């Protein structure tokens, strides 16, 4: 494989379903080994089986919102997969609530997973590569809601924070690690089915392209950003929204 940095391994969080699963599949098709992380052990097992139990797929169960678990994971990566050079911060949750309905513990849960998890992974991944001046790439999964707002304000906040994290890490890790974000519109996954019907209609009515965005489409963009073909991009956000919101 020539497209990903030095043919190394890629870490994908939230890898067992939806967009994460599509990213894992695309990386494997490109002959790139993947370390798939998810909180659901049974879903990781199903992922492995659905990919034909491929030798290039490694699975690791952890809660990305727990700093100690992420630290332990990167000890494993350093020892067992020192050639890792790609990270996709994909894991996230969407509670589909109005901000007035949120309880304090729910706010903490969304921000811990959607923001802190990406921060923890970015920190330890950066330490693995930056100090030894190794080249690599981070891709953060944001959302159109980061740029246009969301009916779930806490989710929108968390996705906007990822764009800020992307830009800042691009500066911090220059020139060795490229850091970019992908901000998809509504994607046909179980999580996105929770969006209110009126909001879905609004999104679709604004789109200039009438082809639905699928998890595989997002994965195409992510794999491009991991690859040498994107070697001149860092600190950028890629709007995957069918032209629905022009900037």
Instruction: Give the pLDDT confidence of 50-109 residue by residue, as tens digits.
Output: 988 678 999 999 999 999 999 999 999 999 999 999 999 999 999 999 999 999 999 999
Instruction: Give the 3-state secondary structure of residue 123.
Output: helix
| 10-19 tens-digit pLDDT | 999 999 999 9
Question: How many angstroms separate the CA atoms of 25 and 47, rounded?
Answer: 10
Question: What is the CA 163 to chain-centroid distance, rounded?
Answer: 12
Residue 89 forms beta bridges with which residues?
140
If 0-12 CB within 10 Å is exposed, 13-18 middle and 19+ buried, where does residue 208 land?
A: exposed
pLDDT the model gives residue 1: 39
- Name the residue among 238, 22, 27, 1 with its Cα closest to residue 140: 238
H or E stretch at 200: helix 197-206
The pLDDT tens digits of the residues spanning 136-180 come to: 999 999 999 898 888 999 999 999 999 999 999 999 999 999 999
Domain 5-237, CATH among 3.40.50.720, 3.40.50.620, 3.40.50.970, 1.10.1740.10: 3.40.50.720
pLDDT at site 72: 98
pLDDT at 3 over 70: no
Torsion angle of C-alpha atoms 224, 48, 216, 244, degrees rounded to 10: -100
Question: How large is the average pLDDT for residues 209-226?
Answer: 94
pLDDT at 201: 76
Percent of the chain with pLDDT over 90: 76
Give the pLDDT of residue 192.
66
Q: Among all residues, which ones are annotated catalytic? A: 155
């Amino acid at each position: 494989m020539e497209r990903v940095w030095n043919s190394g391994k890629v870490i994908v969080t939230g890898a067992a379903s939806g967009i994460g699963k599509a990213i894992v599949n695309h990386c494997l098709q490109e002959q790139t080994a993947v370390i798939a992380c998810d909180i659901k052990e049974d879903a990781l097992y199903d992922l492995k089986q659905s990919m034909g139990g491929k030798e290039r797929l490694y699975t690791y169960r952890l809660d990305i919102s727990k700093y100690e678990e992420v630290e332990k994971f990167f000890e494993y990566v350093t020892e067992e997969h020192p050639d890792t050079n790609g990270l996709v911060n994909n894991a996230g949750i969407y509670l589909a609530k109005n901000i007035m309905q949120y309880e304090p513990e729910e706010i903490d849960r969304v921000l811990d997973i959607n923001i802190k998890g990406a921060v923890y992974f970015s920190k330890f991944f950066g330490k693995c590569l930056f100090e030894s001046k190794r080249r690599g790439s981070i891709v953060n999964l944001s959302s159109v809601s980061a740029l246009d707002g969301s009916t779930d304000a806490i989710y929108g906040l968390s996705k906007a924070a990822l764009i800020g994290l992307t830009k800042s890490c691009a500066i911090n890790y220059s020139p060795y690690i490229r850091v970019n974000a992908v901000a998809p519109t509504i994607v046909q996954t179980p999580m996105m089915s929770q969006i209110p019907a009126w909001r879905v209609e609004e999104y679709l009515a604004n789109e200039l392209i009438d082809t639905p965005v699928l998890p595989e489409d997002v994965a195409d963009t992510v794999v491009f950003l991991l690859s040498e073909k994107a070697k001149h991009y860092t600190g950028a956000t890629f709007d995957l929204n069918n032209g629905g919101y022009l900037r």
